[in-house]
Amino acid sequence: MAGTAVSEIYCCKINIDNFYIYLASTKNGAVRIGMTLKNEGNCIAFFRKLFQGSGIYENYRINAPLIDGVEAALYNKPLKSSIDFDLSITSFQWLVLKTVKLIPYGKTKTYGELGHTLRKPGSARAVGQAVAKNPLPIIFP
């Protein structure tokens, strides 16, 4: 996704217990979450290298569903509203992320177990690569 050309990106930064979460969306939906333990400055600077050639604007309103989703996930509370996504990922990556989302809070599964859940035994490496490229950690833990 690095260098992906999207015409307009709307971003914001939230701080939860000194955990800095940078959120980015388009008008169509969520595209990226970045996280750090130190303040990396404003969200525009944080996303500038990732979205080269895009207009990047700070906007909390457009990111409100994503903010709600992050807070719900971090506090193990129900999501207030749905989140739309605008992701540039493969159908396999999307299938992996949706399957990861089904893992109950506090439980874990190996990449091999996820592959079996997807009815793709032997796909542990591919599942691991899809998880490693997850653009929305916390939403798809």
Q: What is the pLDDT of residues 23-76, one digit of tens each?
A: 999 999 999 999 999 998 899 999 999 999 999 999 999 999 999 999 999 888
Break the chain into its structural domains and give their ranges.
Answer: 8-74, 91-132
**CA distances to 23, 38, 106, 126 from 73, in Å:** 14, 21, 12, 25
Q: What is the pLDDT of residues 85-118, one digit of tens each?
A: 999 999 999 999 999 999 988 899 999 999 999 9
Where residue 20 falls among pLDDT bands split at 50, 70, 90? very high
Q: Which amino acid is at 85?
A: F
φ/ψ of 51, rounded to 5, equals: -120, 60
φ/ψ of 10, rounded to 5, equals: -115, 125
CB 56 within 8 A of CB 9: yes
pLDDT at 3 over 70: no
φ/ψ of 9, rounded to 5, equals: -115, 135
pLDDT score recorded for residue 5: 58
What integer is the mean pLDDT of 74-82? 86
Give the Cα separation of 107 and 104 in Å (integer): 6
pLDDT score recorded for residue 80: 83
Class of domain 91-132: mainly alpha
Where residue 1 falls among pLDDT bands split at 50, 70, 90? very low
pLDDT score recorded for residue 2: 44
